Amino acid sequence: MTASTSAPHNHRYDGLILGASLATLDCVDGYGEIADAALAWRDGRIAHIGPRAALDAEPADLAATVIHADGWITPGLIDCHTHLVFAGDRAREFELRLQGASYEAIARAGGGIVSSVRATREASEDELLRQSLPRARALLADGATSLEIKSGYGLDFDNERKMLRVARRIGEILGVRVRTTYLGAHALPPEYSDRADAYIDAVCEWMPRLHAEALIDAVDAFCEGIGFSPAQTRRVFETARALGLPVKLHADQLSDLGGGALAAAFDGLSADHVEHTSLDSVRAMAEHGTVAVLLPGAFHVLRETKLPPLQAFREHGVAMAVATDCNPGTSPLLSLRQAMQLSCTHFRLTPEEALRGATVHAARALGLVDAGVLRVGARADFVQWDIGHPAELCYWLGGRLARRVVADGRVLVE
Ligand code: NIG
Ligand code: FE
């Protein structure tokens, strides 16, 4: 595999990659394969896709940079659910859980999310960035070109703002697309103990102020016995709707509180986790186009056994996305490809479903209209993999398969 850049010249394309097989995913079924392909881009957008043999001129005359490749090229992966900005870790809590303590019991005893809140509050913005960047880099190195990053370990105005600012800075520093999600309603901070409704007032009051600083792309909440009630979640969503912000929800992870239907009622982009989601919620999600985001990392780490209603999602045409849920408690997972692998082993997704889940459907879960697919006009976000078939993306556990990661036509990893 070689890359060559020619002298300035009036080229049709900025870049052209030749010889790999493409999984365009620009189709309803299958990978949308184009063997021995040519993929070209200009101004950060895909400008040409087709078989190499059909190129109408010499590659060097067509593009300033010509790359000869092998293996497969897929759309850049999209990690549509992460909490990767946090300080410290919860390895000790992992040990406690292995000894039998439940996630809920640890949370009720003041550990869990609140312990990450303590560490995150103590870190300066620069320190939080320093600790979080390597996690984003790891996701990028394994093929992610777009990341969603949630707040939710600050739980007061200044610290939620600090987290969202760090998320934005990660996007700028790494050149990946970052969509920020305001998750003020993640847990009850200690200063509001027994005053959940007053805390929700505060979360709603901070929202327009953070939005005024362009720090929020979407709004999320943790609707759960150890989180917030459906009524409290609804108040957060109503505030989001008044600001024109899309919503998504940590829904039905540990119990069925009707989270899927609640997200759908607000035309939510996604309902995430969804292990306990009911058939009524599945129907509502189908009706409103709400994506089911599967988080097999949390399922795996918490040793869950209740499977999401996968067949009902398929039968009702609810799109299933796959994400890492990268977070210090339930899913310290730094590879979206590994999440795809876990979605196949635990949820029996097909490798094709898993790849769509981490590209096309993940894009929908973030409201991205021009990513997750290889199509003329879409963003020039793609990954060249050292594999002989796309199923290998879900087959190998660990290792390094991404040979080259390109976002907006810029090579980020090679
Ligand atoms: O998606 N469920 C709530 N939020 C995270 C866990 C966060 C944490 O434990 O720190 C999740 O699993
Ligand atoms: Fe989460």
If you write DSSP's letter for every residue of 134-149 in order, what string do you get? HHHHHHHHTTEEEEEE
Q: Which pLDDT score, from 0 to 100, does residue 6 have?
A: 65
- In single-letter form, the type of residue at position 5 comes to T
> What superfamily does domain 77-366 belong to in CATH?
Metal-dependent hydrolases (3.20.20.140)
Six-digit token pair at 174?
A: 């790494």
Tell me the CATH architecture of domain 2-75+373-413.
Roll (2.30)
Question: Does the predicted interface ipTM exceed a cut of 0.85?
Answer: yes
Task: Kindly indicate the confidence band of residue 96, based on its pLDDT and cuts at 50, 70 and 90.
Answer: very high
Task: Name, in order, each residue with C-beta under 8 angstroms of 46's C-beta and a sequence gap of 6 or more.
Answer: 39, 40, 374, 375, 376, 377, 378, 379, 380
Q: Mean pLDDT throughout 121-142?
A: 98
Share of the chain above pLDDT 90, in %: 95
Known binding-site residues for N-formimidoyl-L-glutamate equal: 153, 327, 329
Task: Kindly indicate the confidence band of residue 10, based on its pLDDT and cuts at 50, 70 and 90.
Answer: confident
Q: Which pLDDT score, from 0 to 100, does residue 34 have?
A: 98
Q: Which pLDDT score, from 0 to 100, does residue 110 have?
A: 81
Task: Name, in order, each residue with C-beta under 8 angstroms of 60's C-beta and a sequence gap of 6 or more.
Answer: 4, 6, 66
Q: Mean pLDDT throughout 156-164?
A: 98
Write out pLDDT tens, residues 340-384.
Answer: 999 999 999 999 999 999 999 999 999 999 999 999 999 999 999
In the reported structure, the alpha carbon of residue 321 is separated from the centroid of ligand 2 by a whole-number distance in angstroms of 14
Query: Which residue in the block uniquely carries the two structure tokens 């992610």?
Result: 144
In the reported structure, the alpha carbon of residue 275 is separated from the centroid of ligand 1 by a whole-number distance in angstroms of 14
DSSP class of residue 153? S
In the reported structure, the alpha carbon of residue 302 is separated from the centroid of ligand 1 by a whole-number distance in angstroms of 11
**Paired sense of beta strands 63-68 and 2-5, if any:** antiparallel
Bridge partners of 18, per DSSP, are 38, 68
Write out pLDDT tens, residues 12-47.
Answer: 999 999 999 999 999 999 999 999 999 999 999 999
**Torsion sign (Cα): 268, 356, 283, 287:** positive
Question: Which residues are near ligand 1 (CB < 6 Å)?
Answer: 83, 112-113, 116, 222, 250, 253, 298, 325, 327-331
Asked if 2 contacts 67 with a C-beta cutoff of 8 angstroms, the reply is yes
Is pLDDT above 90 for 65? yes
Residue of 312, 314, 294 lying closest to 304 (CA atoms):
294
Query: Which residue in the block uniquely carries the two structure tokens 């610290």?
Result: 159
Atom of ligand 1 nearest to the CA of 183: 4
Known binding-site residues equal: 81, 83, 90, 153, 186, 250, 253, 325, 327, 329-330
* Ranges of H-type helices in 78-124: 91-98, 103-108, 113-122
3-state helix, strand and coil shares in percent for the chain, rounded to the nearest 5: 40, 25, 40
In the reported structure, the alpha carbon of residue 140 is separated from the centroid of ligand 2 by a whole-number distance in angstroms of 19
Q: Which pLDDT score, from 0 to 100, does residue 9 have?
A: 67
Q: Mean pLDDT throughout 168-183?
A: 98
Q: Which pLDDT score, from 0 to 100, does residue 322 have?
A: 99
What ranges do the domains of the chain cover? 2-75+373-413, 77-366
Q: Which pLDDT score, from 0 to 100, does residue 2 have?
A: 59
Q: Which pLDDT score, from 0 to 100, does residue 165 have?
A: 99
Mutate to test the pocket of ligand 1, among 83, 155, 220 (most ligand atoms within 8 A of CB): 83
Rounded CA separation 349/371 (Å): 22
Q: Residue 231: helix, strand or coil by DSSP?
A: helix
